[in-house]
Amino acid sequence: MAAEGWIWRWGWGRRCPGRPGLPGPGPGPMTPLLLLLLLRPVAADITDGNSEHLKREHSLIKPYQGVGSSSMPLWDFQGSTILTSQYVRLTPDERSKEGSIWNHQPCFLKDWEMHVHFKVHGAGKKNLHGDGIALWYTRDRLVSGPVFGSKDNFHGLAIFLDTYPNDEATERVFPYISVMVNNGSLSYDHSKDGRWTELAGCTADFRNRDHDTFLAVRYSRGRLTVMTDLEDKNDGGRGVSEAAGAQQAFLLSGQCLAGEGLVLAPCTNVNFFF
């Protein structure tokens, strides 16, 4: 099958106990199939970030080029996103704001790893604050919608960093990171915080930290792994914990990357490796 134009993106939103009836392969190119869940943090390693493996066409590294709300080379902005030389702010700390940044270049790598440094903060009280952010690896780009700022029934991968529980009966502790793979047939259920379509997830207290949060996403040999460093250990990967993992989460090459968010500032680096 020829690779399609798939894109990376960062998103705002909301969120789904059990997960009955995940569909099998549909007519679309994605197969939302999960054989193994890894919900508890375990020791994990990451690449050494060697620059010879860096894919600059998918990376966002400071000092950033351009200032204000215009686009920059290889990236497009939407909404309230603001660029400075030292950070990308997706939204201000105000109500009803959303912003996104999209990489223009389709990713044709079979195996890859992405490192993201970011901050999520805000002055909301009593857990009344923005819905969160998301990282998207999808076929369609620059399409706004109700799921963390992007479209529902998407084709591709979404990693949700959810800061607000919409399900009052949930036993989850927020903030919460979850993973969803979609072939276009699944709809994200905001009232259940996406639980019915979640492949894996865990609690991750990344909000209002004094330092950047580190997130690593690896896709290799059909296995998707999401890793975090919430404590700013910066110890070459020894302080990184595996937040979620899925075996046989099939993703096509030729997709694109993006990020959208509420109360995200700043997004310091996005490094893409093969």
The residue ranges of every structural domain in the chain are 7-273
| Contact between 133 and 118 (Cβ < 8 Å) | yes
The Cα 173–Cα 177 span in angstroms is 10
For 215-218, the CB contacts below 8 A with 24+ separation are: 215/115, 215/116, 215/117, 215/118, 215/135, 215/159, 215/161, 216/46, 216/113, 216/114, 216/115, 216/116, 216/240, 217/113, 217/114, 217/116, 217/135, 217/159, 218/46, 218/112, 218/113, 218/114
pLDDT of 1 reads 35
The Cα 1–Cα 167 span in angstroms is 40
Range list of β-strands (E), the chain:
7-10, 75-79, 82-83, 88-89, 99-103, 112-120, 132-138, 144-147, 150, 155-162, 176-183, 200-203, 213-220, 223-229, 241-246, 256-261, 264-273
pLDDT of 29 reads 29
Between the two ends of the chain, the Cα-to-Cα distance in Å is 22
pTM confidence score: 0.73
Written as tens digits, the pLDDT of the chain (274 aa) is 333 444 455 444 333 333 333 333 232 222 222 212 222 223 344 455 555 578 888 888 877 777 666 667 888 888 888 888 888 888 887 777 888 888 888 888 888 888 888 888 776 555 545 678 888 888 888 888 889 888 999 999 999 998 888 888 888 888 899 999 999 999 999 899 999 999 888 888 888 888 888 888 888 888 888 888 888 776 544 444 555 555 545 555 555 555 543 223 333 355 655 4
pLDDT of 255 reads 57
pLDDT of 67 reads 67
pLDDT of 43 reads 34
DSSP 195: G
7-273: in CATH 3.40.1350.10: no
pLDDT of 39 reads 23
pLDDT of 16 reads 31
pLDDT of 257 reads 55
